[in-house]
Amino acid sequence: MDRLLINGGVSLEGEIRIAGAKNSALPILAATLLTHETVQICNLPHLYDITTMLELLGCMGVQPIVDEKLNVEVDSSTIQHFSAPYELVKTMRASILVLGPLLTRYGKAEVALPGGCAIGSRPVNLHISALEAMGATIVVEDGYIKASIDGKLKGAHIFMDLVTVTGTENVMMAATLAEGQTVIENAAREPEVVDLANCLVEMGADISGQGTDTIVVNGVDELKGCSYSVMPDRIETGTYLIAAAATRGHIKVKDTRPDILESVLSKLEQVGAEIKVGENWIELDMHGQRPHSVSVRTAPYPAFPTDMQAQFTALNSVADGTGSITETVFENRFMHVHEMNRMGASIKVEGNTVIVEGVDALKGAPVMATDLRASASLIIAGLVSENETSVDRIYHIDRGYECIEEKLQLLGARIRRVPA
């Protein structure tokens, strides 16, 4: 098991490229099950979760081919099994995304109840009730969701009790080959949902309303192959920008999309950063100044993303003033606070809010990553610390950040990966 060693005190400077979005790539890989033709997916990030999804397709009898440019071609016509086993699902909740495609294409699916980051309840019952409304028979037994349908799924009017990204994606994929029209109300509006919808449309699906809270899908008889490039990762983009702001640095991130990061960029301007944007790049310059504290409140897109709050907690810990961060999406997402306080931060948890009083500098310490985004926040804390910080259990980081230490090294950070 590896760990990261960070010697802080360096302002980040330079340019890096942003990888493809993990949260787009995973559902798009699942969507390849909807056609017998070959789908080529470009701009996939090199991440452990992507490898897991490719392994999951492999254990069903689908053999993805990776070309010399690291694009992946998937031909699911060789599929033999319709089950997602626990060994793979336990490491990645997104495995549940194969449920809708398998059910609508083949009439049956078995998916183990998911694992992944321990950040609170993310109920799969919304996926199940929506597919049942479309005519599926579903039982949960022996730790598996076992779904079947006689004939085809039927279009239905589905209201999501909670805004759920994977729930919206699963139902949208299932609806592409269902009979008639499916209307998804209170749908997730995240850019990654839009990206999946755009890929499905390229494959011949009839979808409208993506990016709004009402998505309409008219079922078609079959989908075809296509070539599709995954959108840039907005969470990776935001993480590096926050790291640069916390370290009083000046960086430019390329191959990204400023238009889907407005809530984060406005907070960074409040911190004191000068932000410049182009069509596919963002430049942040702190002019060597200490950041100001900001208060944020997470909510589903287009509001401030839950996947960014831990990173802002790290920034606030060395900012001038006191800021509050309120988490409204997941109830167990402050596990990084205890670790940061061990580094000398002044953070109090009050219910679903953390109050962060900025200190002049953190002190390096051995810390442990608890989930994907908390890991990134501990790296930022290490970058603004005196002495050395050791971040353990970094397999969480490798699930969501491509070559994080190499990209930070390009920006001047003193960070290296060592065996634990």
Mind telling me the catalytic residues? 117
In 3D, which of 369, 374, 333 has the Cα closest to residue 351?
333
The residue behind tokens 């051995």 is: 366
- Least Cα distance to 90 among 146, 127, 49, 121 occurs for 49
Distance CA 307, CA 373 (A): 6
Provide the token pair at 285: 């310059």
- Residue 370 gets the label, from left (phi > 0), alpha (psi -120 to 50) or beta, of alpha
| Residues 330/307, Cβ–Cβ less than 8 Å | no
* CA dist list (Å): 237 to 148, 251, 262, 265, 306: 40, 11, 12, 10, 14
Residues 231 and 20: beta-carbon distance below 8 Å = yes
Taking each helix axis as running N to C, give the angle between helix 22-31 and helix 165-176, from 0 to 180 degrees, rounded to the nearest 10: 30
* Overall residue count recorded for the chain in this entry: 420
Distances from the Cα of 412 to the Cα of 10, 11, 245, angstroms? 7, 8, 14
